[in-house]
Amino acid sequence: MNHQPPHLHLKERVILVTGAGTGIGRAAALAFAGQGATVILLGRKVGPLERVYDEIEAAGGPQPAIFPMDLAKAGEAECTAMAEGIHRQLGRLDGILHNASRFDNLSPLEIQTAEQMLGMFRVNVLAPFLLTKACLPLLKRAPDASVVFTSSTAAHHPTAYWGAHAVTKSAAETLAKIWADEMGTTPNVRFNVVIPGAVRSPQRQKSHPGEVADLLPEPSAIMPLYLYLMSHDSVGVNGQVFEAQKHLS
């Protein structure tokens, strides 16, 4: 997608990005901040979040916020506390990018364990549900709010050996579509899904260790699509699944 937003197109917006420390989450946080958004960086490890924080400040973006959270352990209480913290510190929330993901390895379903299935379900499905639910009152008060789920090719086109990851990411797509349908009576809140495809990211390195990473596009290459979905330009776009590679210019 050759979306060329005006300068500071996201000015005064507050956007929560999960999995913001590396890969697509990092690229999205930098892109949103570069367009004037105040970005809330959520991730399990503080170190990578602090590095992204420093990158945003060095580039002259609005001061971001850091919310360390282990989504594998977070429950309703933790997500509610985070939403309350956003309200106290920033006063508003205009968007969420659900980008955090758990992927263990490629293996046949018959050898995958209950711990793997439950662990991936907690991060890939339950956490986005709980975070969205906790933040929904803030999102409903925004002039126009956007919630974007980063999915995976394996979820949309399931194939052998992707197992629990594909199952849970497919469930997350369904979750996004149900939220979208239920928010049809609240037109200022929209939900959409992005399938990044093959980009240079830590998860891609883990799932395709023999691949030549230098031949893949950087996560920044697909940011025009994320910027479009987070901006006012996508008002009215709801419940859609976008395959990012089809939108590369």
Please, are residues 72 and 48 in contact by the beta-carbon 8 Å criterion? no
Please, are residues 129 and 81 in contact by the beta-carbon 8 Å criterion? no
What is the model's pLDDT at position 72?
93
What span, in angstroms and rounded, lies between the C-alpha atoms of 179 and 111?
Answer: 33
Please, are residues 95 and 15 in contact by the beta-carbon 8 Å criterion? yes
**Unique residue bearing structure tokens 């002259």:** 60
CATH code given to domain 14-247: 3.40.50.720
DSSP 124: I
The low-confidence residues of the chain, meaning pLDDT below 70, are 1-6, 198-217, 247-249
What tokens does 93 get?
Answer: 């929330």
Question: H-helix or E-strand containing 15?
Answer: strand 14-18
What is the model's pLDDT at position 1?
54
What is the model's pLDDT at position 156?
78
Q: What is the pLDDT of residues 75-133, one digit of tens each?
A: 999 999 999 999 999 999 999 999 998 887 778 989 989 998 899 999 999 999 999 99
pTM of the model: 0.90
Sequence spans of domains, the chain = 14-247
DSSP 105: -
End-to-end CA gap in the chain: 6
What span, in angstroms and rounded, lies between the C-alpha atoms of 249 and 247?
Answer: 6
What is the model's pLDDT at position 104?
75
